Amino acid sequence: MKSSCLQTLLLVVVAAIATSCSSSGTWEQIGVVGVDSGQLVLLDPAYIEGGDWVPEGQGQEWRVRYWGRDAARLAPDFGESPIECSDAGTAMALEARIKERARQQDLAVFTWAQSGSSYDKCAEFSESARQAGQLNFAAGHPGLGVAFATVHGDGIYPVMGRYDGDLLVEVRIDLRLDPEQRLPAAP
């Protein structure tokens, strides 16, 4: 008897979970999002001006990254990328020296002086193996936002919303779209 009650209870719980996870409701396009850096970030816009979002060039964790087909040829002289720097001036000077060496030797190398800004962190997450990551508040706890890469890089991606009646309950951006399927960029 106990076994059949347990099985019934389990079926009720599974049915309740399936009902709450169902995708009932209507999906419709609610807008588009333009991408010019191959990545997106999801966050509350209040955090941009609220002090937790660190603007480009205003971070305190300076480093220079270099990469490309010939990057390994620079490592003996400059060290492995990324190279930690004490301040902005040091980072900018190092980046200039790397660029000059690459130009002199006709090396295919790209450089980037990073300040530890929020944009820099988004780019690091987008380029990681998981292509996504959690942005933390200045105090160190999670919740500032989530950054992620787009599959096909730059372009205009449709944003879909699912409504349950008049209530927006889910938002989706399909990043798998082929470039030909994406909406054309604005003129």
Q: What is the pLDDT of residue 179?
A: 61
Tell me if 157 sits within 8 A of 32, measured CB to CB: yes
Between strands 110-114 and 155-164, the pairing is unpaired
Tell me if 35 sits within 8 A of 156, measured CB to CB: yes
Q: What is the pLDDT of residue 4?
A: 39
Tell me if 60 sits within 8 A of 115, measured CB to CB: yes
Q: What is the pLDDT of residue 184?
A: 60
Q: What is the pLDDT of residue 124?
A: 84
**CA 147, CA 142: separation in Å to the nearest integer?**
12
Q: What is the pLDDT of residue 1?
A: 44
Q: What is the pLDDT of residue 23?
A: 57
Residue 183 C-beta-side C-alpha neighbours within 13 Å: 15
Tell me if 131 sits within 8 A of 39, measured CB to CB: no
**CA 52, CA 47: separation in Å to the nearest integer?**
6
Q: What is the pLDDT of residue 37?
A: 85
134 to 11, 137, 176: CA distances (angstroms): 36, 10, 21
Instruction: For residue 99, report the phi and psi dihedrals to the nearest 5 degrees.
Output: -60, -40
Q: What is the pLDDT of residue 186?
A: 56
Tell me if 154 sits within 8 A of 37, measured CB to CB: yes
Among 155, 183, 157, 126, which Cα is nearest to 36's? 155
Tell me if 159 sits within 8 A of 165, measured CB to CB: no
**CA 91, CA 81: separation in Å to the nearest integer?**
12
Helix, strand, or coil here: 23? coil
Tens place of pLDDT for every residue, the chain, 187 residues?
A: 444 333 333 333 334 444 444 557 889 999 989 888 888 999 998 888 777 887 777 777 888 988 889 999 999 999 998 899 988 889 899 999 999 999 999 999 988 887 878 888 888 888 888 999 999 888 889 999 999 998 878 888 889 999 999 999 999 998 876 666 655 655 5
